Amino acid sequence: AAVEKLKSSKRPLIIAGGGVRYSEAESGLSAFAAAHRIPVAETIAGRTVMVHDDPCNVGPIGGLGSSSANILAGEADVVVAVGTRLQDFTTGSWSLFAADSTFIGVNAARFDAHKHKALPVVGDAMTCLADLDAGLGDWKAPEGWMDRGKAEYGKWNGFVEERIRLSNAEVGTYAQIVGSVNRLCGDHDLALTAAGGMPGELCMNWRARATSTFDCEFGFSCMGYEVAGGWGAKMANPDREVVVMVGDGSYMMLNSDVYSSVLTGHKLIIVVCDNGG
């Protein structure tokens, strides 16, 4: 049923969530989207499952997302939700989508696969994408729909470029700081954040040159995750620089693991953005 519904669509959209990363399906998703000419939007948990300049990437979706992804979400007739819980930040409290759109829920959790009256495809993201790919054969979405996505994504990137551009102001904006850190980081370095204004700024402005280069704890907007999470990320990724971006409130709430990371010899780069919060 999911394959037939997708074949009948004129304006399909994929929403890629954290389940794509857990399944290690980043390259599979990119290949699937390219083969069938389907634009891909990323959730907060799914940020950087695609590189910034992937031809099918149309940006982050939802309340912390991009105009490009949100516009396409409003026009899509079939939405393929891959590895996402479709929580309120992603769906704009279900205000983003057309009333007559159909969802296909690809998820290892049966509960999430059925959300929003979706056609459920229960299973691992990589395996399910392979099955959908086999069923679709050489089917492709109309070229004009992908062109629409690229045009809107181009407008969004122009907006981001203005936000991150450096100025002569005495104090930089969050967007300018994110842009500067992004430029200075290596392709495979990891940026990490959790709460306050930083998730929005990083989701909007971070441009991934490699997959899985951004981590945001946003299940509970957990203040204090940043430094501790960065310490754990460095343990797991000793060959990558880990850049923790944290607001002054979260830093004051839990900074003791700076000391812990020094004790264990795990180097962190910590950028504290103080807006007096």
Segment 58-99, tens digit of pLDDT: 999 999 999 999 999 999 999 999 999 999 999 999 999 999
Class of domain 165-273 (CATH, top level): alpha beta
- In the prediction, which pLDDT does 219 show? 67
Q: Which CATH number fits domain 2-158: 3.40.50.1820, 3.20.20.70, 3.40.50.1220, 3.40.50.2300?
A: 3.40.50.1220
Predicted pLDDT at 222: 87
For the chain, which ranges sit under pLDDT 70?
A: 219-220
* The pLDDT value given to residue 181: 97
Determine contact, residues 208/50, Cβ cutoff 8 Å. Answer: yes
Q: Give the DSSP letter string of the chain.
A: -HHHHHHT-SSEEEEE-HHHHHTT-HHHHHHHHHHHT--EEE-STTTTSS-TT-TTEEEE-STTS-HHHHHHHHH-SEEEEES----HHHHTTTTSS-TT-EEEEEESSHHHHTGGG-EEEES-HHHHHHHHHHHHTT----HHHHHHHHHHHHHHHHHHHHHH---S-SS--HHHHHHHHHHHS-TT-EEEE-STTHHHHHHHH---SSSS-EEE--SS--TTHHHHHHHHHHHH-TTS-EEEEEEHHHHHHS-THHHHHHHHT---EEEEE----
> How far is 38 from 36, CA to CA, in rounded Å?
6
Q: Taking the C-alpha atoms of 134, 36, 216 and 169 in order, what is their torsion angle to the nearest 10 degrees? A: 170
Q: What is the pTM of this model?
A: 0.95
Residue 181 Cα to chain centre, angstroms: 18
- Beta bridge partners, 273, equal 247
Can you give the pLDDT at residue 217? Answer: 87
Exposure of 19 in the CB half-sphere (CA atoms within 13 A): 24
Domain with CATH 3.40.50.1220 in the chain: 2-158
The answer for residues whose C-beta is within 8 angstroms of residue 209's C-beta and 6 or more apart is 51, 52, 187
Return phi, psi of residue 253, to 5°: -70, -40
Phi and psi (nearest 5°) for 230? -65, -40
Name the segment(s) of the chain with CATH classification 3.40.50.970.
165-273
Please, are residues 119 and 104 in contact by the beta-carbon 8 Å criterion? yes
